[in-house]
Amino acid sequence: MPPLLQAALNGSRTPAEHPTVPRTPDRLAAEARAAVDAGAQVLHLHPYDAEGAETLTAEPCAAALRAVRAACPSVPLSLSTSAGIETDPRRRLDLVASWNELPDLV
Report domain extents, the chain: 6-97
67-96: pLDDT as tens digits: 999 999 999 999 999 999 999 999 999 999
Beta bridge partners of 78: 44, 105
- What pTM was estimated for this model as a whole? 0.94
Count of helix runs (H) and strand runs (E) in the chain? 3, 3
Q: Give the pLDDT of residue 15.
A: 85
**Residue 20 burial (CB count, 10 A):** 9
Cα–Cα distance measured from residue 47 to residue 23, given in angstroms and rounded to the nearest whole number: 7
Q: What is the pLDDT of residues 20-60, one digit of tens each?
A: 999 999 999 999 999 999 999 999 999 999 999 999 999 99
